[in-house]
Structures are given as C-alpha cells and as structure tokens.
Amino acid sequence: MKSTEIKTDTCIVSKDKNGIIHKTVKPKAHLDAYHIKESDEIGFKLAGGKKALILYDARPDFTLTHNGMEYLHKHLLSKNRIASAIVSDKPGIKLLGDYFKNSKPGSPQIKVFKTMKEAMAWLITFKDGGRGVTKEELRNIHIQPKKKPAELKRPEKVKPKEPIHGSITTCIAQVEVDKNNIAYKRILRDAHVDLPSLQKSFKETVRFLGQEKRLMLYDLRPHFTITDDALEYVVDEIMGGHGIATAVVAKTIGVYLMADYAIKIKKIKSPLKVFTDEADALKWLAKQNN
C-alpha cells in the first residue's frame, strides 16, 4: 500500500508502508537532468529528509538525454539513499547493475531485478539498519536462478573483397557508405535483434564493407529490442573492434549504458561516443580521422 502519490510530467513518486520510496517512470517519458532531479527532491521530502530505500519501476519505455544520463550516475550513488532497486527486463538497464558493481567501496548498493517482488524482498533486508544481503542470500531471493548465457560463436570469417559504395539492407539494419568513406548502420524500426540475426547481419555487413577499418556511425534511434546474448556479443565482439572510431546516435538509456560499459569496463581499444544528434556525431567522427 502506497501513501499519497506525487506526479510530475515524467514520473510518479510515492512512499509505501515500509518507508520505501517508489519512482515509476511514465510511459514515453523523455528524461533530462531537470526531471530526474525533480523526482529525486520529491523522494527526499517524502523520506523526511533522511536516507531512504528507493525502488525504480523502469519497465515502461522512455528516453534519456545525455545530461540526464550524467545526472543519473550521480543520482544513483547519492548519499541520500541506503540502496536502490531497479525493476526492468530491458538488457540495457541490466548493464546498469554491472556498471555499478565497480563503484567505490561504501557506495549505496544498486541492483537490477526483473520483478517487483524480487526488488521489494531485497530492499526490505536493508530496513532498520540491516546489512543487506550476501551473494548466497540474494540467490535465494531470486525466483529463478540466472541461466548461463549461451556460448558466443564468432562469425564466420568473410573473404576480403573491394569495398563498394551504395547500400544494403540486412535482416536488422540498413548499411550504407557515404562519399567520405563513413559507414552508416541504421537499425530497422521495431527490429528484434537476437544472436543469430546479429551474426547474420554482421557477416553481411563485413562482406559489403570489406575488411578495411572505417569511421562507423550507428543510428539506434528507432525502436528495437535486443536479447541478452546479442547484447553481450555487441559489447564483446563489435563495439570498438571494427572501426577507426564509432559514433552512436540514440536517445535511450540502454544505449548510453552499453557504451559506458564497453568503454569503462570492457576497455575497448578504439574511440566510442554516444550522441543524440547525427550532425554532432559526424563532426566528432571527422576529428577522429585526423
């Protein structure tokens, strides 16, 4: 049972009988730093100005600006919270949990869950100065054990051929090369990217572009879905490994997290940056070629 709900343009904030602050993102919300800060301040007031347990319902679709992403990083590690649980089945949000595993010792704990039940069970262990949960206890909270991801297979090597200008359309994206030799890969609207389709598309793209490394621009603005194993393949095998530099144009939190994870955790070798505007992405790519 929740207390009085406070609604903003992008979020619904409330406090339940356990003192947990709930923040539910509204469907199709577009979050910037202002809106995230607004919900943060409301939650702090509902908690009586004290440290609180925070539960984010991030299941609805939403988009996030770059400054919103930067604020979110600081927001989730704020000293005004005891711990934060995030509920989402989006692969990009799951990367958030992996990203914050590398936070400094003593930082508030952050965990991503698939269900509200799991998230609530975890947060309640922190009540009244609780110590949280051990890894063993956390496994017992989960309704289903996490399955080991399928072993990733590298795509079949493609015989080099002369790169061509023009475009092709794979099962998940349109690929084209402009007069400046920049390769564009634009995700098809409502594409569902699983590992087989990703590997097939990657193979066709390499055949089309040839083995020469290029400046790459990925347009991920249209809506699409991606499976966990395909997401791992993108980070481990594609990001930063097949271009001089890679610019990604997107507005969703998942893409920002994927890029952060690839850069800061996986330590990819070539430059990678996310933009909300394609013109800015092209300007940045032009500088990387010098």
Contacts of 199 (CB under 8 A, 6+ apart): 153, 155, 233
Closest CA to 271 of 255, 237, 248, 253: 248
Which positions ≥6 away from 237 have C-beta within 8 Å? 152, 154, 155
The alpha carbon of 231 is separated from its chain's Cα centroid by a whole number of angstroms, namely 10
Instruction: Please answer whether residues 209 and 181 qualify as being in contact, where contact means their C-beta atoms are separated by less than 8 angstroms.
Output: no
**Domain residue ranges of the chain, discontinuous segments joined by +:** 6-141, 166-288
Would 6-141 and 166-288 be classified into the same CATH topology?
A: no
CATH code of the region 6-141:
3.30.750.24
Question: Per-residue confidence of the chain (290 residues) as pLDDT tens digits?
Answer: 556 789 999 999 999 988 999 999 999 888 888 999 999 999 999 999 999 999 999 988 887 776 777 787 777 777 788 999 999 877 677 777 777 776 777 788 888 998 999 999 999 998 866 555 554 544 544 444 444 444 545 444 444 344 456 799 999 999 999 888 899 999 999 899 999 999 999 999 989 988 788 899 999 988 888 877 888 888 778 876 667 899 999 877 778 778 877 887 778 888 999 998 999 999 999 998 76
Q: Which amino acid is at 38?
A: E
Distances (CA, A) of 242 to 73, 174, 206, 287: 28, 17, 9, 18
- How far is 250 from 239, CA to CA, in rounded Å? 15
> C-alpha 210: how far from its chain's center?
30
Q: How many CB atoms lie within 10 A of CB 51?
A: 15
Superfamily of domain 166-288: SpoIIaa-like domains (3.40.50.10600)
Neighbour order of strands in the sheet with 243-249: 166-169, 173-177, 183-187, 214-219, 243-249, 272-275
CA distances from 278 to 178, 229, 272, 281 (A): 14, 28, 14, 5
